Homo-oligomer: A and B are copies of this chain.
């Protein structure tokens, strides 16, 4: 593995580039729709040169980490251009639409649909950090559609970055991730919006943020340009989870109105089960 192309030089693409560069003796060509981002990536040093899509003809590995609504078409263009042994993988947070769009491409076997579950609330090349993926779960979808030799090349990279694995269909992935990740982002953004609307004195927000607000609203710092396409691409699953969430909020609201302390206690005590799930690996 001598030459790698990374398309999309933000938090995920940048962090992948940082660690791939560190683990392998390779040259990385960076490709980004934003010239500013590409120059910044070169300046930081996690890419060796700035390129265009045509560069993928000469590389061993292509990493696609652009906004999810662009991954389908970029993947098809990339698969048109690559050599026989080139590995292409993406890191998108929605997998169904991407997998469908490449399903019939003659080079589908060169593609691995992946979703490394890692991130921060920051974005752009400056957000790229080392070791973002160590110990994190990488969800691999439709592994059976990837050539085994090509897939092994991907696992060589993921192993070097310290990832763990989980395998599922793209449909299953999108359903689970709607609840566990996408809904968290919506709830956090709306919490932030609600507090900003009412609290005209921003000093109050800052002073009281230690009361639990800060961690709950962390995701509301995330980039709109990343999350708008995720929400629309995973619309069906996200809407189901949002409906359920709003239903639960309305029910809880009724119990508060009624001062039904038994039900409030019961619901919160049951939800406390998350302690065991999150604090200890099952």
In the complex, 26 of the A-B residue pairs with CB atoms within 8 angstroms, ordered by the A residue number, are: A137-B207, A180-B195, A180-B209, A180-B213, A184-B217, A186-B249, A187-B190, A190-B248, A192-B271, A193-B267, A193-B271, A194-B245, A196-B274, A203-B282, A206-B282, A209-B278, A215-B216, A216-B216, A217-B274, A221-B274, A221-B275, A224-B264, A224-B272, A231-B256, A242-B249, A246-B253
Which chain B residues border A225 with CB–CB below 8 Å? 265
The yes or no answer to A63 lying at the interface (CB within 8 A) is no
Contact pick for A208, options B177, B249, B253, B268, CB 8 Å:
B177
Q: How far does the alpha carbon of A188 sit from the alpha carbon of B218 in the complex, in Å?
A: 12
Q: Residue on B with the closest CB to A219?
A: B212
**Count of chain A residues near B, Cβ 8 A:** 92
Binding site of A, secondary structure by majority: helix, strand, loop or mixed?
A: helix
Residue of B nearest to A269 (CB): B224
Partner of A257, one of B193, B215, B239: B239
Extra 7 A-B pairs, beta carbons < 8 Å, given A186-B249, A232-B261: A137-B207, A180-B211, A184-B211, A188-B212, A215-B219, A224-B264, A239-B256
In the bound complex, residues from chain B placing their C-beta under 8 Å from that of A208 are 117, 137, 139, 176-177, 180-181
